[in-house]
Structure 1
């Protein structure tokens, strides 16, 4: 929602500027003219600026530097994230960035293997996507026969059953539910035993260039990720997803029949 970010920045700056000009000049002029008809009264635009600037400034700071909400629009991160999950993204995990431009101004940390990140894909810079980091800069990645290899070593998998999907994820019912082991990290993935919907994206071996990452969706046969469009530039990353705070599969129904309270407060592995 880039338009919302731009509008928030513009409104915050305008209201703050009006408030500043009033404190420096306009308020003094009104005080000098007090008692002359309506000259001493505070203009409506100053009143609005004083009322809205603190709220807008707090929202801007929290959204830009602390945590930002996003809604999951697709099934590409099932079973970890479902369509309709509303998540919070840590905006300072990888460094403080300016709103709109996403320019890093204070480095804090770097993405690690297994992190779930929100980013702007190079081919669709106006959109926000979410995937899991599989390869770091300098890693050699290979993907073949539904197996991921990192630096020549295959990731360990354990089949834990058959997935049963609900709502928008019902199409994945019957897929294999696997536990994938990334060194120091464990999470679930889905794999379709039947003919995949898309090319499985067999790639490699590929070496991730400096300043880039190799990302994949947990729903391996339903994810448009680095297997198909290449590496993710570090400057495109917006933050680390860490919490589900609401789930509503269909916003068109006003959540009347698609509200899943069991997912509220779930941490994102």
Structure 2
């Protein structure tokens, strides 16, 4: 084989490597834009359902696509394409309306046209109290974020979706609100950690359907104590094996 032949072979090998890398990046971009997006829980607002250190897959196609479905949210079009409406009880990742560069995750409790109000810690939808039953207490700081027992209440929405909520502080500022009327094309979001959640009762306000990113579906990894998944040496003490590959309810 001549020196020229060897040179051609080396160049071909480099070109193939670059091609494979580019194809892999494009495939990852398509998957992230159209199918799944990984998301890490940054705060305790969805405790006990979701904990800081939970890593989720968010289904991007669940509600169709908007500009916020794409990386960097380019202003290519408005509204949603192939849109589908979320259901009550869905846990949704969305862009924070006052600052769309931020991702929030909450539960949908109010649909367009609904009247939403909190009275003495109980959720009312269209004037009807959502059934709320005390199911016990949790005395685990990893779940509650406080070093004391916390009351847990099970709510059941009109469509039958049930989930647990925490009551950290009776008669807190969010336990009694005015009545909110959800505008057309918007949703009312609340965190399951009712006394420690910035949601539609406060600065989040009504969430436009355009801001929906996707539905939280599955926890694929979970680690406590603020540890990073890359800190393998912390796994023996901080990994939450019971939460791996569990569905988000």
Over residues 128-178 of structure 1, what are the superposed CA-to-partner deviations in whole Å (9 max), with x where a residue is unaligned?
110000101111111121111111111001101011223374317422111
Give 1:51 deviation, angstroms: 2.1
Q: 1:53 to 1:158 in 2, by over 3 A?
A: same
- 2:248 is the alignment partner of 1:263: no
CA distance in 2, matches of 1:46, 1:105: 39
Q: Which has the larger radius of gyration?
A: 1
Distance in 1, matches of 2:147 and 2:91, equals 21
Report the aligned-residue RMSD.
2.6
Give per-residue Cα distances to partners, 1:14-53, cap 9 Å, x unaligned: xxxxxxxxxxxxxxxxxxxxx6996897489844530212
Larger helix fraction of residues: 1
2:91 to 103, 106, 116: 116
SS state at 1:94 partner = coil
Structure-2 change in CA distance of 1:237 and 1:45 (3 Å):
farther
Aligned to 1:106: 81
Change (3 A) 1:174 1:195: farther
CA shift at 1:180, angstroms?
0.2
2-structure distance, mates of 1:190, 1:164: 12
Q: Equivalent residue for 1:142?
A: 117
Match of 1:228 in 2: 202
Q: Gaps spanning 5+ residues in structure 1: where?
A: 1-34
| Aligned residues between the structures | 234
Larger relative contact order (CA 8 Å, sep ≥ 6): 2
SS in 2 for 1:209: coil
Unaligned runs of 5+ residues in structure 2 are none
What TM-score comes out, normalization by structure 1 length?
0.78
